[in-house]
Amino acid sequence: MIATVNEIWREYFRDPYEGLGTTYERFILHRLFERIRTRYSVQTVLEAPSFGMTGLSGINSLWWAHNSAKVTIVDDHEERIDLVKEVWQRLGFAASFVNQPSGFDILPFDDKSFDMSWNFASLWFIQDLKSFFEELTRITRKVIFICIPNRLGLGYLARRVFNKQEFTPLRVENLNTRKIKKIISSLDWVVSGEGLFDVPPWPDIAMKKEEFLKAIGLKRLAEAFERGNGEGVSILDYFSGKHGGLDKDILKYSFLENSPTIFKRFWAHHHYLIFTPK
């Protein structure tokens, strides 16, 4: 549950088993990264804030380092950024790690320091969205990539109705795409791409997707990704080379990603926005 993310994030550093849903989400994100890298020739990347919704913190930008980009990770929690750094080092990937305890109204980088700045499901932790975007546009040269939960998704809406507590500490108003566009457009950037993604054959519910698959009678499928060997599915195994074919195993279930927009509007788990300078 999202409300407990601030309480349970340490558990993923002790046991990086994230489950099928989060692992699928990360591999779909990689597809978007590839398109952005090709289109904008991205070589330097800032992820800020790096703390988002679920799973192991600070590893979404591993794909960029794996593809030879220079990566900087920013977090506002000293212990968490130290743990993130340990995970990257253990996998053999380099990045710069910055602790920003004062928040994200001011980012400690020179103008146009990065080809791309981005974040995933973390805007609802931002205190002042306008100040944050003023900084992000200042330090970015080519492209800003923002991913937020799909506010019209049936799973998201159900959780808002039946589990209000998990959203209490979050600034859900920061997920308003019109608000985001208005602020960034006022800073002389334009929308260059937008879409819905993360459209798996399971709903956006706050439970391990293996358990959901069992509940609807797909026990065999669930067991394929469960902890049969005491470890379970983890994208860290993909980046370490232990399970180099994990992406192919997971992306077998991506057949809904190219669905009509009207379907994705109510089923996709996330919404993305791409901005470029005028």
What are the structural domain ranges in the chain?
2-277
Count of beta carbons in the 10 Å neighbourhood of residue 111: 9
* Mean pLDDT, rounded, for 32-53: 96
Q: Could you tell me the fold of the domain covering 2-277?
A: Rossmann fold (3.40.50)
Query: Given this model, what pLDDT does residue 159 score?
Result: 78
Distances (CA, A) of 48 to 78, 98, 141: 14, 10, 15
pLDDT computed for residue 228 by the predictor: 43
Torsion of CA 108, 110, 115, 119, to 10 degrees: 20
Q: What is the pLDDT of residues 61-92, one digit of tens each?
A: 999 999 999 999 999 999 999 999 999 999 99
Return the percentage of the chain with pLDDT > 70, whole number: 86
Whether 222 shows a pLDDT value over 70: the answer reads no
Structure token pair of residue 192: 């260059």
